[in-house]
């Protein structure tokens, strides 16, 4: 029998069963054991120093710490320096300037064009059930831009950030909760939002099964300003209001992990946890009102910079992956990894087809499973509106301050010492590479 030709006539569920029978494998809970479920836990504005496992002295995060202990914790993971580019990289594996996205906040008419092959579309095409809970921020004004028209079977959450309302943003557009393609609740109380998202996610896990693995993307609203926390956990931490919020996210992660274990699918689930960008330490004046305080932003730990900047405090975030039996437990790695790599890696482990356009991510599978010692990424470009920095190997060149700044990211990951005078040729080589990329994606180098 010509299996590839015969397979064209089968639906994904029957094909999965056939492959399992041919190879003598069993289907635990109906799932193909060679393709894991995928759970993405994505926080909003959580800083590099906000978790106990990244050094916070008073915030307790036992569930996230356990997730890190059970897999690999990354200390050199970078993404966009604010929410839209980081979510674009996760959903498409591409730098934002490659995509004519437009504005996606309140009243913004933009969104992901049909030419993009989203993570959800790729996995759905590969036979996965796909679910999203939480913040989208990649287009909403036209229904075609909403998650349920970008590859997700279900969605419950917000179309953009939780501050898109007066007095922080001068808009009359209602900030409301959506289910599917319909706003179902406005106004709503943000305080129990993390607990509501958690309940939704847990129920989706409990209902999973059958012939299909699943993707669950849980994109928290917190700890983006304005902060909100449930009555149950208000005042429960030793780190003030911000600590309460982070510890509630940790509780939520614990509930999701518990649901996977009780369903009996934890060992066949790849879990990825990260923040979209660093904390809003240098928040604009519009946010410094109506209850928001400067100490309601998180910590970059020892890093330099803040959300919206291309020093490491903006784009370098906590990140970890767990996949029992595939990713060895107890690893801490400073391997250089970028958010586009997550898209590329998930498509790989899911057996999904790649798009026919340029991707900016590498497949991490061999690195994560120990087949190679080094992460494959060689360079990462830091965009704001223009291109502001490039890391290549051990070196990072930043142009956004009006002068060339060259940092050795191994000996000086805190970006304190400008080495341009010591290595002028290195700086010029990296600057030339920045100009080449800027020309490729149609932006300028900020100098």
Q: How far apart are CA 3 and CA 35, in angstroms?
A: 19
Q: Which residues of 75-86 are buried (b: 16+ CB within 10 A; e: fewer)?
A: ebbbbbbbbbbb
**DSSP designation for 441:** H
pLDDT at 193: 98
107 confidence band (pLDDT: 50, 70, 90): very high
**21 vs 169, higher pLDDT:** 169
pLDDT at 210: 81
What is the set of active-site residues?
Answer: 83, 137
Mean pLDDT score, 161-177: 97
φ and ψ of 380, to 5 deg: -145, 135
4 confidence band (pLDDT: 50, 70, 90): very low
87 confidence band (pLDDT: 50, 70, 90): very high
Report the candidate in 117, 93, 140 with the shortest Cα–Cα distance to residue 364.
93
Helix (H, G, I), strand (E, B) or coil at 6: helix
**36-377 to CATH, choices 3.50.50.100, 3.30.360.10, 3.40.50.720, 3.40.720.10:** 3.40.720.10
Mean pLDDT score, 153-170: 98
pLDDT at 54: 98
pLDDT of 31 over the 90 cut:
no
Q: What does the pLDDT look like over 343-397, one tens digit per residue?
A: 999 999 999 999 999 999 999 999 999 999 999 999 999 999 999 999 999 999 9
Check: CATH 3.30.1120.10 for 380-441?
Answer: yes
pTM: 0.92
Q: What does the pLDDT look like over 185-195, one tens digit per residue?
A: 999 999 999 99
**Mean pLDDT, the chain, whole residue set:** 93
φ and ψ of 398, to 5 deg: -125, 135
Q: What does the pLDDT look like over 426-444, one tens digit per residue?
A: 999 999 999 999 999 999 9
Q: What does the pLDDT look like over 306-321, one tens digit per residue?
A: 999 999 999 999 999 9
Per-domain residue ranges of the chain: 1-34, 36-377, 380-441
pLDDT at 34: 73
Token pair in block for residue 113:
């064009």
Q: How far apart are CA 121 and CA 148, in angstroms?
A: 10
pLDDT at 209: 87
pLDDT at 32: 60
**DSSP designation for 231:** T
Q: What does the pLDDT look like over 117-152, one tens digit per residue?
A: 999 999 999 999 999 999 999 999 999 999 999 999
pLDDT at 109: 96
Q: How far apart are CA 388 and CA 385, in angstroms?
A: 8
pLDDT of 30 over the 80 cut:
no
pLDDT at 25: 33
pLDDT of 205 over the 50 cut:
yes
Q: How far apart are CA 303 and CA 100, in angstroms?
A: 32
Task: Characterize the bridge pairing of strands 319-322 and 269-275.
Answer: antiparallel
pLDDT at 33: 63
pLDDT of 202 over the 50 cut:
yes
pLDDT of 19 over the 60 cut:
no
């Amino acid at each position: 029998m010509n299996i590839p030709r015969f397979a064209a006539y089968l639906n994904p569920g029957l094909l999965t069963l056939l492959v399992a029978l041919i190879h003598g494998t069993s289907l635990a809970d109906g799932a193909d054991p060679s393709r894991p479920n995928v759970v993405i836990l994505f926080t909003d504005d959580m800083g590099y120093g906000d978790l106990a496992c990244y050094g916070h002295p008073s915030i307790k995060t036992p569930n996230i710490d356990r997730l890190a202990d059970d897999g690999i914790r990354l200390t050199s993971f970078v993404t966009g320096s604010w929410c839209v580019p980081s979510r674009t990289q996760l959903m498409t594996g591409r730098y934002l300037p490659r995509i004519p996205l437009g504005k996606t906040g309140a009243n913004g008419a933009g969104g992901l064009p049909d030419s993009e092959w989203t993570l959800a579309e790729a996995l759905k095409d590969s036979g996965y059930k796909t679910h999203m809970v939480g913040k989208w921020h990649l287009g909403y004004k036209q229904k075609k831009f909403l998650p349920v028209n970008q590859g997700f079977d279900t969605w419950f959450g917000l179309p953009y950030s939780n501050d898109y309302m007066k007095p922080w943003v001068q808009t009359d557009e209602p900030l409301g909760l959506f289910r599917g393609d319909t706003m179902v609740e406005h106004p709503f109380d943000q305080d129990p939002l993390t607990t509501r998202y958690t309940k939704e996610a847990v129920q989706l896990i409990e209902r999973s099964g059958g012939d299909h693995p699943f993707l669950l993307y849980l994109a928290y609203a917190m700890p983006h300003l304005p902060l909100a926390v449930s009555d149950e956990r208000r005042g429960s931490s030793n780190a003030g209001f911000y600590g309460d919020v982070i510890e509630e996210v940790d509780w939520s992660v614990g509930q999701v992990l518990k649901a996977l274990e009780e369903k009996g699918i934890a060992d066949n689930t790849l879990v990825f946890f990260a923040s979209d960008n660093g904390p809003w330490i240098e928040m604009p004046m519009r946010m410094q009102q109506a209850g928001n305080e400067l100490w309601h932003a998180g910590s970059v730990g020892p890093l330099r910079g803040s959300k919206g900047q291309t020093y490491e405090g903006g784009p370098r975030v906590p990140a970890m992956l767990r996949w029992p039996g595939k990713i060895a437990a107890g690893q801490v790695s400073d391997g250089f990894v970028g958010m586009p790599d997550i898209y590329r890696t998930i498509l790989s482990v899911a057996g999904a087809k790649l798009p026919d356009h340029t991707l900016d991510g590498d497949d991490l599978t061999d690195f994560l499973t120990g087949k190679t010692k080094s992460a494959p990424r060689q360079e990462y470009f830091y965009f704001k509106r223009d291109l502001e920095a490039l890391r290549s190997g051990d070196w990072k060149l930043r142009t956004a301050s009006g002068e060339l700044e060259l940092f050795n990211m191994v000996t000086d990951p805190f970006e304190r010492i400008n080495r341009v005078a010591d290595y002028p040729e290195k700086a010029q080589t990296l600057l030339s590479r920045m100009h080449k990329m800027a020309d490729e994606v149609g932006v300028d180098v900020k100098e």
